[in-house]
Amino acid sequence: MNEQLKLLIELQEIDTVILSIADKIESLPGRLEQYRAPFKEADNALQKIKTQFEALSKSRKNKESEAEELQEKINKLKTKSKEIKTNKEYEAFLKEIEGFEKVKFKLEDEILSMMESLEALTKELKKEELKVGKAQEELKQQEKAVEDEKIKFHAEMETNKVRRKEFVAKIEGDLYEQYMNLLKRSGGAAVVQTSNEICLGCNRNIPPQQYNDIKKNENIFTCYYCKRFLYFKEREGDKPQSH
């Protein structure tokens, strides 16, 4: 095989690996999103319940204060009962106490209902806290796994870059420049195989005589259409060479 062609093929293999590693590194943050989403969802649900719990607790305290104030008013009225001299005044006094007590009983019922709701919310809080804890733990594990993979991929990348320099040093300057232009223009594939008189880069036909020359791998050929470097390697399904 032509030595420069062989170097180009090997350089392409290295660059394919480097590009693949770069894609993997780029995809790592996105992989964490599938674990961040459940954590955010669970945390949002928890915060919502906490907000409800705090609002209800505040409302309950306000109503308890109202009930205490009413009780103080009732107590004060009762201490004044000795000062009442007529039945009419006494009836008005009892009516006033009864009015305060009705409001107080209503408040106490509301407070009791709130306490039941707070108890239910406390149970929900515990459940959501467990969900958040579990989702957070899974996220932390994945963050560590992703970080470990990132370190591994970067190490692989550096190893391949070192290997790449060795090959680049042996390739003729003009060929390397042509290769790099093709690599950028063709989405990472500057050197491609041929099969059954077809360029596997653009899937266009190669003239039969040129294809026969390419199969020898003795010279460097490029595709007439996509300009990629071409080489031949026996593949399953290739037509047997005619004699």
Three-state secondary structure along 10-31? HHHHHHHHHHHHHHHHHHHHHH
Of 204, 200, 190, residue with least CA distance to 232: 200
| Domains assigned to the chain | 27-170 (1.10.287.1700), 173-232 (no CATH)
Model confidence over 229-243: pLDDT tens digits? 999 988 665 554 443
Mean pLDDT on 139-162: 95
What span, in angstroms and rounded, lies between the C-alpha atoms of 192 and 5?
11
Write down the pTM of the prediction: 0.67
Q: Show the tokens assigned to 164.
A: 């790449």
Backbone angles phi, psi at 191, to 5 degrees: -125, 120
What integer pLDDT is reported at residue 23 of this predicted model?
94
Given a cut of 80, whether residue 106 has pLDDT beyond it is yes
C-alpha dist (Å) from residue 31 to 23, 125, 143? 12, 29, 9
Q: Considering only 72-86, 89-103, 167-181, which range has the smallest mean pLDDT?
A: 72-86
pLDDT at residue 30 in the model: 87
Let me know: does 150 contact 85? Beta carbons within 8 Å.
Answer: no
Residue 91 pLDDT grade (very low, low, confident, very high; cuts 50, 70, 90):
confident
Burial class from Cβ neighbours inside 10 Å (0-12, 13-18, 19+) for residue 193 reads middle
